[in-house]
Amino acid sequence: MGAGHDHAHQHAHATPDSDRRWLAGALGLIVAFLLGEVTVGIVAGSLALLSDAAHMLTDAASIALALWAIRLAARPASGRMTFGWKRVEILSAQANGLTLLLLAVWLGYEAIRRLIHPPEVTGGLVLTTALVGVVVNIGATWMISRANRTSLNVEGAYQHILNDLFAFLATAVAGVVILLTGFQRADALATLVVVVLMVRAGVGLVRASSRIFLEAAPADLDPTDIGRGMVALDGVVEVHDLHVWEITSGSPALSAHVLVAPGRDCHAVRENLAHWLADEHHIEHATLQVDHAQPELIELGGNADTHCEEAHGPVHRADR
């Protein structure tokens, strides 16, 4: 009997310090604009500007949450936290996705209400603020895009800022329409376009983070194909209890019980499997329990019961 582990971890963040710098820069830009927008809104007595400032506050909060998650995820594994705090980044991503969906519901309600009863909107003030907001959000979006967006955590903050950029672009168009035609409902129509984009981004983040929390296999890895590939390797008779999941975004992991033909070197087969998983599927965190198959399993052509009484999931055999 032999058991082996391949613990060469894939890191979701190759340069976490760089990610923190870009996110901190975007946060500073957003906060500076937020304070300015609140000041202008109070001076102008504009509820619309103050409402938009509240939206910007959620953007700042999403970046701050991402920064906190990166810092916490960098802690080493210890005690009961055997994988460290890497899943905190997925919690952050899910929080950002849910926030986008909640904002979409609120903005959708407000947009429909204003379509029915359009308020007076000062087109010039709306256009000026929107254009400044476009410039600020382009800068913040560019900064966050420089960070590692393969991390759902960073992607969540990015989607917040990107959707705010879309919102300002739509607001600028609405401001021009109001100035040229006096059509007050343009502001609400532009908001509904942004709501659709927010729902799309929010659903994507919630779905991706939920897959990780539910220990589902990553979207680009098919456990059935992996199992068939493993039993096709020389010396492997059966693979069962095969589990594929993600520790955090970009860090796939695998565990399996492998039966090897009698007389074959279990350690050599395990090493060959570990290299194959890393080369073919980029799975560098693999835990493989390796045993010799019972002779009757070979003699009966794989029709005997599996090594374990209750295998978790499908059983992959070399003859199938």
| Calpha distance 307→72 (Å, rounded) | 41
Q: Which residue has the higher pLDDT, 33 or 171?
A: 33
Q: Where are the domains of the chain?
A: 14-213, 217-317
* CB proximity list for 289: less than 8 A, separation 6 or greater: 3, 241, 255, 256, 257, 258
pLDDT digits (tens, 9 = 90+) for 106-141: 888 888 988 888 877 666 777 888 888 889 989 998
pTM of the model: 0.75
Identify the CATH number of the domain defined by range 217-317: 3.30.70.1350
| Nearest Cα to Cα of residue 226 among 290, 293, 274 | 274
pLDDT at site 254: 95
Structure-derived torsion over alpha carbons of residues 261, 264, 266, 272, reported in degrees to the nearest 10: -90
Residue 121, pLDDT score: 67
Which tens digit of pLDDT belongs to each residue from 173-202? 888 888 888 888 887 888 888 888 889 888
Superfamily holding 14-213: Cation efflux protein transmembrane domain (1.20.1510.10)
